[in-house]
Amino acid sequence: MLAYLIRRLFAAAVMLVVVILAVFCIFFVFPKWAGVDIAGSFVGKQADPAAVEAVRVKLGLDDPVYSQVWEFFKGIFVGRTYAAGGDVTHCAAPCFGYSFRTQQAVWPVLTDRFPVTLGLALGAAVLWLVFGVAAGVLSALKRGSLWDRGAMVVALAGVSLPIYFTGLLSLAIFSYGLGWIDGQYVPIGDSFSGWLGGMILPWITLAFLYAAMYARITRATMLEVLGEDYIRTARAKGLTEQVVIRKHAMRSTMTPILTMLGMDLGALIGGAILTETTFSLPGLGQKVLDAIKNQDLPFILGVTLITSLAVLIANLVVDILYAVIDPRVRLA
Amino acid sequence: MTTQRTSGRRKQALAAAAVVAGLLTTAACGGGKDDGGKNGAAGFNAANNKIAQASLVKKGGELKFASTQDADSWDTTRGYYGFMWDFSRYYSRQLLTYKTQPGAAGAELTPDLATDMGQVADGGKTYTFHLRDGITWEDGKPITSKDIKYGIERAWAQDVLSGGPVYLKDVLDPDGAYKGPYKDTSADHLGLKAIDTPDDKTIVFHLPKPNSDFLQMVALTSASPVRQDKDTKSQYGLHPFSSGPYKFQSYSPGKSLVLVRNTNWKASSDPVRKAYPDKISIKFFTNANDMDQRLLAGDYDLDLAQTGMSPQGRTTALKAHKANLDNPVSGYVRYAVFPQSVKPFDNIHCRKAVLYGADHVSLQTARGGPIAGGDIGTNMLPPSVPGAEGQKYDPYEMAGANKNGNAAKAKEELKACGKPNGFSTTIAVRNNKPVEVATAESLQASLKKVGINAQIDQYDGSQTAGIIGSPSNVNKKGYGIIIMGWGPDFPSVQGYGMPLWDSSYILQSGNNNYALIKDKSIDKMFDDFVTTLDESKKTQLSTEINHKVMEGAYYLPFTFEKFINWRSSRLANVYTTNSYNGMYDFVNLGLKSSK
Amino acid sequence: MTELSKSGAAVGEPTAASPAPTAFLEVRDLKVHFPTDDGLVKSVDGLSFQLEKGKTLGIVGESGSGKSVTSLGILGLHTAGQYGKRKAQISGEIWLDGTELLSADPDHVRKLRGREMAMIFQDPLSALHPYYTIGQQIVEAYRIHHDVDKKTARRRAVEMLDRVGIPQPDKRVDSYPHEFSGGMRQRAMIAMALVNNPELLIADEPTTALDVTVQAQILDLIRDLQKEFGSAVIIITHDLGVVAELADDILVMYAGRCVERGPAEKVFYEPRHPYTWGLLGSMPRLDREQQDRLIPVKGSPPSLINVPSGCAFNPRCPYADVPKDNVTRTVRPELTEVGGKHWAACHMTQEQRERIWTEEIAPKL
């Protein structure tokens, strides 16, 4: 198991390096080929050549890509100092880059925004797991019934409606219309109830999409599991139907659900862009959208890295969980 | 990198957006009727070039801005966005500033830190200002002439503090002899020769040659004082040290900004600022619809960016809350420009063919129609600039006989150009401005009727400076038509048209003279303008420059832009001002209640 | 094929109306039909038999002949947990130790499952839950029917594993199914089935998934256990060789019906149905020298939706034209007694069948 973990961790590290290289290429190398000067996009309305040059120096745009990458990695562990034109900017370790647009080190902004996204993702995950799985199980057990058909139509709607539609709709009804919920983000430290009030619509909106997917997957998996021989065996033992479902069928059904959950959470932690944008939540997704709009490369790189990290960690956790659930996966 | 599974659903999204728009329109109609009285809204256009509800203002309360956009920088040297300049008067003062009056009067200058408008000597080459008594920084120390000099010097450090306007740098040190305060080896870092500070209360500017708009430049936000010991260089924008009535309490980029009273600011030292509210906050949104709904609901008082409401918000507001709206002229002209380096636009007749072939009404509609978009543009000088004639000057009858296009005349011009069967070209348009894309499509459609086949190329809008700002790239890509817009930095033909039309402003990167106009007579008129101190002569030159540009047919103006801006019913002493291109004058906004 | 001298299994004739059962297990005119979009699948269509305690019945037939459906029907598993599927139509009577199961309270039948009647399934790998240890699964089976603590149940599980011949049962009890070999898994499955000392044990193809040497071990085990526990056993198989060693009586099924049944030695040495001949011909035998002369039954099993008219076997029967007037294609043959407790459903006369068996079939086997 330890060897397996080490191997996985090593693979994850390699993967990260590949991701960083890819992102570096996309933002720093490809534009060069296309003949676009990135430095030019950093200066204002009256472009002064000195300003363009300074951007070039600060971002190290003229350095070879490998040295840019190396500087970046070094910065993570020992911090980094950017110097240009008498202005010295220090970015403390772990330095995941420094934005010269907003004059902020990337890492503190990420850690500042991370809890918002985490809160959004976890809260929504609880909702969609509870409702999605429950709806899926009920649908499977009452296959073909009115409930099943109704639930699956709702699930289809949930899967196909875009977030900004359901999000705006929920705002229009509950916030602007009925005025039940304020719908504006409040940090949890300021007021817990305010935080709940700000998060409940994003949770529901995001959970609706995922609950729909989870309901469909749960239903399909459950029906498949119910056809398994070991379920028949369980019944042949004289177990009540409740025990058959709860103990035997659910455990197998949860395996693919957990895999999905891990992947979805990992990806969401990288930023629920649409949800955060729709509800103006100051999370990672909002920041990355902002960064993309402003071509704020250090942030894009930082968030990409964090997202990859989250996905890789989620993968690892899923693999370990998988081994816990399914003894066949356990490795010597 | 986006993780939610909604890619590739454009059609669905459009349909969804339409439904949501409908729902939002109805949902927000629950609000009560505005009676226009004491506690209600002032009425449609009540604050447009006039003061609304000045008598109702009470001291105190929190003035709440909302915005989908943060400033480019809150550093006085670096900010270039119009709203940043408007907002910066809360925490920064200049030698001179704009009068706090509505409309055209607001574009006039008045002393701020200085005791008067300054003494001009030496044929406009020397300006001397004396500072008022009682002017202080947020820590109570007096503001000195050296602080002002240092604040201005910072613009020389373009390598560290890029982004802001460089008019003063170009005027005071056209050869770039000074290298900026950070590379300044003198002990006090005040080595700029063009500015003298004989004592703490006196500042003297020495211009190598006169400039008629020099006072305008001294009034720019970028001429604000900065204290050396508080200069955090590139990070100054995160917390500028206040010389005005408010100071930064907290700022989190893209999230929120809160200003509170600067208790060391003395009202007696400031003839301009009233400082009504106790607190001023900005909340940043990512969803323009959401923000507009919050404005409609009264959660916020006004939009910081002042660039008009979103289409859905506008629709609702015009229907149910018209008394909360103003419809000012923005000072922007929206237009298409023809780079002369791209054939056949080197030929004036081909340019004219486009001018005649275009359907100006449909272009106006694409911009948002007469109210939200603006009047049909007939020339290139915005109405807020002295010397502008508005629609009265319409050399191509764009708002008159030819407003739906004149195919016959277009064909004639094509013949004269040697392209009787038309030609093909490419329209370049920013991909992040849906309205501009719509305009490009409209232009494409009307040009097709006269035989001009235009392809639309949507480029990355955040890369404007590197893509259309590079003449060689424009030539390579064959961008014969570029869709853009421009507004004055300060209300004069120099503050508006010089970067666009003067041949000396053609740059290899970050170029704004997209048409590559190299007309000696235009250059000469700018030179005359800059050195003329006679106001009526300046106005006349403005008009002439505008005529010359229009005669060259380098531009196809679409609209003299107008906005629909929201003001909450809580606001008092509201007015739009020409100094900030039709925005509300932020600095003297007040609330009707101190709660 | 030596031990075929056993007899005395009570294979009674189908009785039209006998309200009270005499045997331990008595199935009367059992019909199990499944409605589908294509039509009614008559998986079992009028099956009757009896079985006494301590005796073994072998049910033989090809796949799809209704063997497994019959066994699941006895356990009542066609009605339990069939979520949203179309309900199976079941009729007839199943008497177990004096109780009619089809009309009994489903919860009562559930309580009988595992305790009074237990089942061993064909593929122990898929029939055991992959996520639980062997021990957990046996303990669960025991504790449903016995109010004991986990420790006691675990002791019982170890004891059962030991009894079915699993080495180091106190260790193996904590293994997962995938950690066992195929034969061990089947032993564990048997241990689980027998943990409650059931009166009736149904083994559905218990050796099909195993290799030949293990097959023999498992069959020996079942035989030994039956002697020890005195249960009634039904062995379901497509392989006559399996039942040859175990069964007292044999019931041959074809297309959901019984075509021949009787004491094992009768069915083996004096089979009176052409389908049984076919099965015997396709049976690999260790005592036969000419393996190459294995003769499979020609053709494939009939559709259970459109069962051939007349004798269901007629399309595949080489002797379909022996009876006159095309009777094999129009009239369904009834089971008739052909000897002591030996029944067959065939239109051919006794003499014809005796002659064909002795002259044409037997010499080739």
Q: Do A84 and B159 touch (CB under 8 A)?
A: yes
Mean pLDDT for all residues in chain B: 89
Q: Is the pLDDT at B258 greater than 80, yes or no?
A: yes
> Is the separation of the CB atoms in B230 and B178 below 8 Å?
no
Q: State the smallest CA–CA distance between residue C65 and chain A in angstroms.
A: 20
Return the SS3 of C48.
strand
Q: What is the pLDDT of residues B304-333, one digit of tens each?
A: 989 888 888 888 899 989 999 999 998 899
How distant, in Å, are the alpha carbons of A103, B130, B132, B149 from that of B228? 19, 20, 20, 10
Residue A100 lies in a domain: no
Domain boundary among A39, A56, A91: A91
Residues A22 and A150 grouped into a single domain: no
Residues B353 and B427 grouped into a single domain: yes
Q: Give chains near A: 3+ CB pairs under 8 A.
A: B, C
The reported pLDDT for the residue numbered A36 is 64
Residue B155 lies in a domain: yes
When pLDDT is cut at 50, 70 and 90, the band that residue A290 belongs to is confident
Residues B335 and B266 grouped into a single domain: no
Q: Is the pLDDT at B295 greater than 90, yes or no?
A: yes
The average pLDDT across B439-466 equals 88
Residues B253 and B396 grouped into a single domain: no
Query: Strand B246-252 vs strand B202-206: parallel, antiparallel, or unpaired?
Result: unpaired
Chain-centroid distance of CA A207 in Å reads: 14
Mean pLDDT for all residues in chain C: 84
Chains A and C touch (3+ CB pairs under 8 A): yes
Cβ–Cβ contacts within 10 Å for residue B206, how many?
14
When pLDDT is cut at 50, 70 and 90, the band that residue C11 belongs to is very low
Cβ–Cβ contacts within 10 Å for residue B476, how many?
12
State percent of chain A over pLDDT 70: 92
Which residue of A lies nearest to B287 if distances are taken between CA atoms? A278
Residue B542 lies in a domain: yes
Chain A residue numbers touching C120 (CB-CB < 8 A) = none
When pLDDT is cut at 50, 70 and 90, the band that residue B2 belongs to is very low
Residues B338 and B256 grouped into a single domain: no
When pLDDT is cut at 50, 70 and 90, the band that residue C6 belongs to is very low
Q: Give the structural domain span for B190.
A: 69-282
Residue A103 lies in a domain: no
Sign of the dihedral through C-alpha C307, C312, C317, C323 = negative
Residue B118 lies in a domain: yes
Residue B321 lies in a domain: no
Residues A72 and A113 grouped into a single domain: no
Which residue pairs from C334-340 have beta carbons closer than 8 angstroms and sit at least 24 positions apart in sequence?
Answer: C335/C13, C335/C14, C335/C258, C335/C261, C337/C13, C338/C262, C338/C272, C339/C262, C339/C266, C339/C270, C339/C272, C340/C263, C340/C266
Report d(CA B166, CA B148) in Å as an integer: 16
Q: Is the pLDDT at B551 greater than 60, yes or no?
A: yes
Residue C351 lies in a domain: yes
Chain C residue numbers touching A145 (CB-CB < 8 A) = 84
Report d(CA B115, CA B125) in Å as an integer: 20
Q: Is the pLDDT at C175 greater than 60, yes or no?
A: yes
Residue C1 lies in a domain: no
- Which of A62-71, B560-569, C155-164 is predicted with the least confidence, judged by mean pLDDT? A62-71
- Which of A164-168, B118-122, B464-468 is predicted with the least confidence, judged by mean pLDDT? B464-468
Q: Give chains near C: 3+ CB pairs under 8 A.
A: A
Residue C342 lies in a domain: yes
Q: Do A172 and B23 touch (CB under 8 A)?
A: yes
Q: Give the structural domain span for C334.
A: 271-365
Q: Which of C107, C125, C129 to mutate to test the interface with A (most CBs of A within 10 A)?
A: C129
CA-based nearest residue to B122, from B19, B50, B14, B214: B214
When pLDDT is cut at 50, 70 and 90, the band that residue B401 belongs to is very high
Residues B211 and B357 grouped into a single domain: no
Q: Which of A237, A239, A328 sits opposite C130 (nearest CB)?
A: A328
Residues B359 and B255 grouped into a single domain: no
How distant, in Å, are the alpha carbons of A119, A185, A197, A278, A290 from that of A191? 14, 10, 10, 22, 27
Question: In chain B, how many domains are there?
Answer: 2
Residues A156 and A84 grouped into a single domain: no
By the CB < 8 Å criterion, does B476 face chain A? yes
Q: Which of A145, A223, A236 sits opposite C77 (nearest CB)?
A: A236
Residues A124 and A265 grouped into a single domain: yes
Q: What is the pLDDT of residues B191-244, one digit of tens each?
A: 999 999 999 999 999 999 999 899 999 999 999 999 999 999 888 999 999 999
Amino acid, single-letter form, for residue C190: I
Write down the pTM of the prediction.
0.75
The average pLDDT across A83-109 equals 80
Residue C287 lies in a domain: yes
Residue A97 lies in a domain: no
Which ranges of chain C does DSSP label H, i.e. alpha helix?
67-75, 106-112, 124-127, 134-145, 150-163, 169-172, 182-194, 212-229, 240-246, 264-269, 274-281, 350-356
Report d(CA B531, CA B538) in Å as an integer: 9
The reported pLDDT for the residue numbered A83 is 75
Q: Do A84 and B285 touch (CB under 8 A)?
A: no
Sign of the dihedral through C-alpha B11, B13, B16, B18 = negative
Q: Is the pLDDT at B168 greater than 70, yes or no?
A: yes
Order of strands across the sheet that contains C89-96: C39-51, C25-36, C89-96, C99-100
Residue A56 lies in a domain: yes
Order of strands across the sheet that contains B62-67: B246-252, B256-261, B279-284, B62-67, B302-303
Residues B206 and B131 grouped into a single domain: yes
Q: Is the pLDDT at C319 greater than 60, yes or no?
A: yes
Chain A residue numbers touching B305 (CB-CB < 8 A) = none
By the CB < 8 Å criterion, does A324 face chain C? no
> Is the separation of the CB atoms in C24 and C53 below 8 Å?
yes
> Is the separation of the CB atoms in B246 and B275 below 8 Å?
yes
The reported pLDDT for the residue numbered C141 is 93
Instruction: Read off the CATH number of the domain in which B390 is found.
Output: 3.10.105.10
Q: State the smallest CA–CA distance between residue C177 and chain A in angstroms.
A: 9
When pLDDT is cut at 50, 70 and 90, the band that residue B282 belongs to is very high
Which residue of C lies nearest to A230 if distances are taken between CA atoms? C127
Question: In chain C, how many domains are there?
Answer: 1
Residues A10 and A71 grouped into a single domain: yes
Q: State the smallest CA–CA distance between residue B470 and chain A in angstroms.
A: 9
CA-based nearest residue to A262, from A160, A125, A147, A148: A125
Residues A157 and A303 grouped into a single domain: yes
How distant, in Å, are the alpha carbons of A196, A288, B9, B285, C4 from that of A274? 19, 11, 14, 13, 77
Q: Give the structural domain span for A31.
A: 2-91
Q: Is the pLDDT at B22 greater than 60, yes or no?
A: no
Chain B 247-276, residues with CB within 8 Å of chain A CB atoms: 252-255
Instruction: Read off the CATH number of the domain in which A297 is found.
Output: 1.10.3720.10
The reported pLDDT for the residue numbered C80 is 66
Residues B275 and B410 grouped into a single domain: no
Q: Do B27 and A35 touch (CB under 8 A)?
A: no
The average pLDDT across B549-577 equals 94
Residue A87 lies in a domain: yes
Q: Do A172 and B235 touch (CB under 8 A)?
A: no
Q: Which residues contact B79 (CB under 8 A, 6 or more apart)?
A: B71, B72, B73, B85, B88, B163, B164, B221, B222, B237
Residues A51 and A119 grouped into a single domain: no
Residue A126 lies in a domain: yes
Q: Is the pLDDT at B37 greater than 60, yes or no?
A: no
Report d(CA A292, CA A295) in Å as an integer: 5
Report d(CA C229, CA C250) in Å as an integer: 21
Q: Which residues contact A215 (CB under 8 A, 6 or more apart)?
A: A131, A132, A133, A135, A136, A139, A151, A152, A155, A158
Residues A181 and A296 grouped into a single domain: yes
Q: Do B462 and A177 touch (CB under 8 A)?
A: no
The reported pLDDT for the residue numbered A47 is 60
Q: Do B509 and A37 touch (CB under 8 A)?
A: yes
The reported pLDDT for the residue numbered C294 is 53
Question: In chain A, how many domains are there?
Answer: 2
> Is the separation of the CB atoms in B162 and B84 below 8 Å?
no
Residue B223 lies in a domain: yes
Report d(CA B457, CA B433) in Å as an integer: 13
Measured CA angle at A289 (ends A288, A290), to 5 deg: 90
Residues B451 and B558 grouped into a single domain: yes
The reported pLDDT for the residue numbered B27 is 44
Identify residues of C whose CB sits under 8 angstroms from chain A CBs.
Answer: 72, 75, 77, 80-81, 83-85, 110-115, 118-119, 121, 123, 126-131, 133, 140-141, 144-145, 176, 178, 192
